[in-house]
Amino acid sequence: SGWVEGAGFEPAQEFQGGRRGEVFKLGAQGLGYYTDSPAVWRGKVRAGNRTTMPLHVIQADMFDVTPDLVSTATFEDRGKFDMMYDRGGLDSVPPPAWEEYVAATSRLLRPGGRLLLTVTDYDQAQVPIDPTGRRWSPPPFSVQEGDVRRLFPLGSWDIEVLGKQVDEELSNGNPAFHGVIVSEVAYLITKKSRAADDTAAGGRKSRM
Each residue's pLDDT tens digit, 30-89 = 888 877 667 777 888 887 776 788 888 887 888 888 998 898 888 888 999 999 999 999
Nearest to residue 159, comparing CAs of 79, 102, 93, 202?
102
- Residue 46 phi/psi, 5-degree rounding, is -85, 140
**Closest by CA position to 86, among listed 65, 68, 99, 101:** 101
- Which is nearest to 152 in space by CA: 114, 206, 181, 208? 114
Beta partners for residue 33, in sequence order: 10, 24
Give the C-alpha separation, 187 to 118, whole Å.
6
3-state secondary structure of 100: helix
Which of 33, 137, 153 lies closest to 94, judged by CA?
A: 137
Count CB neighbours of 110 within 10 A.
15
Residue 36, Cα to own-chain centre: how many angstroms? 18
Looking from the CA of 66 toward its CB, the CA atoms found within 13 Å total: 6
In which element (H, E) is residue 145 found?
helix 145-151
In percent, the amount of the chain with pLDDT more than 90 equals: 38
Tell me which amino acid residue 43 is: G
Query: Do the beta carbons of residue 110 and residue 81 sit within 8 Å?
Result: yes
pLDDT per residue of the chain (208 residues) written in tens, 0 to 9: 444 445 577 889 888 887 766 778 887 778 888 776 677 778 888 877 767 888 888 878 888 889 988 988 888 889 999 999 999 999 999 899 999 999 999 999 999 999 999 999 998 888 766 667 666 667 789 999 999 999 999 989 999 999 999 988 887 877 778 788 899 999 999 999 765 565 555 555 544 3
- Identify whether the C-beta of residue 105 lies closer than 8 Å to the C-beta of residue 80: no
Torsion of CA 58, 64, 67, 68, to 10 degrees: -90
pTM for this prediction: 0.73
Which of 1, 130, 129, 97 has its CA nearest to residue 55? 1
